[in-house]
Amino acid sequence: MKRGYFITFEGAEGSGKSTQIRNAVAFLKKKGYSVMMLREPGGTRVSERIRRILLDKNLKEMAPVTELLLYLAARAQIVRETILPALKKGKVVVCDRFEDSTRAYQGFGRRIPLAAIQRASKLARGTLKPDLTFVLDIDIAKGLRRGGRHDRIEREALSFHERVRKGFLTLAKKEPRRMIVLDAGKPAAWVSQKVRERLARVFGP
């Protein structure tokens, strides 16, 4: 049984996710909530090791389906080991990326059919879905300048990142109640304010 609340942050490279997540967590802690902050892929010993493989810039030969299954493997572990137990205890879990990243990067970016992703993805996450998701939308060139192009995914072509960006926006249109799109090209303080306003609707002002 799930009692807590599950929030995810999504968006392209350099969208300022980390700053926004830190601010959101501080806001919720100040209100007295017990908050757990996580990142995907990662957050457990097994998932952090998988992350190293996924982001290794030397592994250029990785097939898209291998990539998909590794992201899902990392998720299967963090869901069972960390997220579900925390939610069961009534915690607010804030996660840097989750399933929407898989749909955007491996679906729209790598062009793996979304129906296939959906089936495999359910195996990893079970019935768990975020209650609320913030999508930080940023101009791709601007984001990559901010974030750098260091790992295997960041080094992908601009056209790949454009598809990912459009992917997030398409997904958000389909689930507008859960997925809140914010213009991350605006100042960080503006974005933080919008995040806080939305959180206040759930957790109180």
Piece in contact with ligand TMP (CB under 6 A), picked from 28-36, 95-103, 130-138, 167-175: 95-103
User: Nearer Cβ to ligand TMP, position 128 or 153?
Assistant: 153
The yes or no reply on residue 165 touching ligand TMP (CB under 6 A) is no
Q: Which residues of 140-158 are buried (b: 16+ CB within 10 A; e: fewer)?
A: beebbeebeeeebbbebee
Task: Work out how close the CB of 204 gets to ligand TMP at its nearest, in angstroms, rounded to a whole number.
Answer: 29
Residues of span 174-193 touching ligand TMP by CB under 6 A: none
Of 194, 192, 144, whose CA–CA distance to 164 is shortest? Answer: 144
Piece in contact with ligand TMP (CB under 6 A), picked from 84-92, 102-110, 185-193, 197-205: 102-110
The yes or no reply on residue 101 touching ligand TMP (CB under 6 A) is yes
Residues of span 11-40 touching ligand TMP by CB under 6 A: 13, 39-40
Q: What would you report as the CA-atom Rg of the chain, rounded to the nearest whole angstrom?
A: 16
Residue 102 identity: T
Tell me, residue by residue from 62 to 81, as one string, x for binding to ligand TMP by CB under 6 A and - for no binding.
---------x----------
Task: Work out how close the CB of 13 gets to ligand TMP at its nearest, in angstroms, rounded to a whole number.
Answer: 6
Q: Could you identify the residue written with the tokens 């250029």?
A: 60
Q: Give CA angle at 168 (165, 169), nearest 5°.
A: 90
Residues of span 115-154 touching ligand TMP by CB under 6 A: 153-154
Cis link prior to 205 (omega < 30° from 0)? Answer: no
Supply 29's token pair.
């802690």
Supply 190's token pair.
């503006």
Give the footprint of ligand TMP on this chain (CB under 6 A). 13, 39-41, 71, 97, 101-102, 105-106, 153-154
